[in-house]
Amino acid sequence: MTFRFLFFFWPNKLRPFFVFFLLLTELTIAHETSLSSSSKRARAGDDVNVFRQLQKGDSVGVFQIESRAQMNMLPRMKPESYYDLVIQIAIVRPGPIQGDMVHPYLRRRWGKEPVRYPSDEVAAVLSRTFGVPIFQEQVIQLAMVAAGFSGGEADQLRRAMAAWKRHGKLTSFRDKLVSGMAERGYSDAFANRLFRQIQGFGEYGFPESHSASFALLAYVSAWLKTYYPAEFYCGLLNSQPMGFYSPSQLLLDAQRHNVECLPVCINSSAQENTCHRSNKGTAIRLGLCIIKGLNQETIKTILSHRPDGGYISVHQLKVLGVSHQQLEALASANALHKISGDRFNARWEIMDNSETLSILTESNSSISTGRCKITPSSLIAPTEIEDTLEDYNATGLTLNKHPIALLDEAHKLGKHILAKDLRHCRHGSVVAVAGLVTGRQRPGTASGVTFITLEDHTGNINVVVWLNTAREQAKPFISAKILKVKGIIEKEGDVIHVVAGRLIDLTQSLNEYCLQQKSALPFR
């Protein structure tokens, strides 16, 4: 989401006001996905397959329900309808969390707690959310029907909720709420509980209308992910930067959903990522836009002059005026693999004069000072780890083996459990997990708890780090890029996380492994 605003003045009073426009990239994604998919059919918001996917917390890239908190809530709430999504989006907010509305709602939703209403008027307001106020509109309605607020007073309460953290005006409404409810026969306990919930909304709660609009887009994006995953992920990749996930994470999730991903290629890639039919269905072809340092002018030149049969040599690109720096960017991304083989060979073919081969010309007089006559036949191909690291450096992602998979095969991680196997572990058991650190979050409502997301080649691992643990092990907590965590697994239905006990920084193990692979290569 992106915010834009306009600044206006009334001509007669010169009083400014702001008009905010919420620009939703999700609309662009939905539009591009519909253009690239074969189906234009509209579906009602009750598709069983869509909700089965969401109930598992499988919502990477899905609008509004892709955050760590939302993904943890989905298996607990198990939405079955469009209106369930309306509630899902609104309930994972500071307001309902601070107002202690989440757990009562879930208990009542699953029949673990009876739903009782002090009056028919209150039931009319809260029946659709099991007696728990989830939306701002419900709080305003309760103030009117239960405490006798007028429409104007209720609007003042709404404004006070929105500004409570800044001005503290909400407490001035407490006496009127409590006394108004007492006059109408409501208990002090009910009145005080409602006021605590109103205070929670001062931390930020959602209007139902807002949540309903977002839920529609959430359903559309979840439907597209379910039925047209390749087109969906392609749209996401072309709309970066946005959301919670990097292109690398999105690509890995696409592969876990059996989407074939094809590498960036000088002869096959367009400017952006595109979808193509393949033997396995629909595949994503990575675009030239993902290559770091490759400018728009070069991309335009490459595409506009590309022969029908594709380029057959690096020399053709040089004739077009593609600079050495731009050729280096293409080689680093392995985009020249169709014409030069691996990236090492591509770099060799780029360095074809005395300027770019100055070191060699100084050390070996047999090398011509004009065009280099040396062939790349004696060059050793890059190792798997070199290819992977170069991919990340040049494009921010890789289609080669995941770094954790390489370290695991080389026995550099010690004993640990993969993400896909955590569901088989017993609740409360001690486990060790390892992965790339892809996210660190410390929400204001979490009392200092930090949530770390680790990524291995099989999925994501949710780690909970208490404040004391973070303080005592600050160095790996703050700086580790590859982290091993020893802790206790906690499971609640399909929600799984590891409560960290010990944090181990394994970042250096990747560098050591790379050096070992280089030293093990024979000279040819």
In order, the DSSP letters of 295-328 are -HHHHHHHHHT--TT----HHHHHHTT--HHHHH
Residue 215 lies in a domain: no
Residue 186 makes CB contacts below 8 A (sequence gap 6+) with 118, 119, 146
Per-residue pLDDT, 398: 95
Last residue of a domain, one of 395, 413, 430: 395
Residue 28 lies in a domain: no
Distance CA 76, CA 136 (A): 23
The domain that contains 414 carries what CATH number? 2.40.50.140
Residue 165 lies in a domain: no
Last residue of a domain, one of 395, 430, 446: 395
Per-residue pLDDT, 363: 47
At 118, the amino acid letter reads P
Q: What's the total number of domains in the chain?
A: 2
At 419, the amino acid letter reads A
How many other CB atoms sit within 10 Å of the CB of residue 366? 8
pTM of the model: 0.85
Residue 1 lies in a domain: no
Residue 72 lies in a domain: no
Domain identity same for 378 and 419:
no
CB 382 within 8 Å of CB 337: no
Residue 304 lies in a domain: yes
Last residue of a domain, one of 360, 395, 430: 395
Residue 271 lies in a domain: yes
Domain identity same for 257 and 292:
yes
Specify the length of the chain in residues.
Answer: 524
Domain identity same for 472 and 370:
no
Query: Containing domain of residue 358, as a range?
Result: 228-395
Per-residue pLDDT, 281: 87
CB 95 within 8 Å of CB 204: yes
Helices (H) and strands (E) in the chain, counts: 25, 10
Residue 518 lies in a domain: no
Tell me the mean pLDDT per 10 residues along the chain, length 524.
48 52 60 56 75 95 92 94 95 80 93 94 95 89 92 86 62 85 91 83 78 92 94 92 86 95 97 91 96 97 96 95 96 96 91 54 46 58 90 95 94 95 96 95 80 94 96 96 97 91 94 74 44
- Name the nearest CA neighbour of 139 among 185, 57, 190, 207: 207
Maximum pairwise Cα distance, the chain: 103
Distance CA 78, CA 85 (A): 10
Domain identity same for 419 and 369:
no
Domain identity same for 311 and 443:
no
Tokens of 466: 């208490």
Per-residue pLDDT, 105: 94
CA 134-20-169 angle, to 5 degrees, is: 50
Domain identity same for 237 and 369:
yes
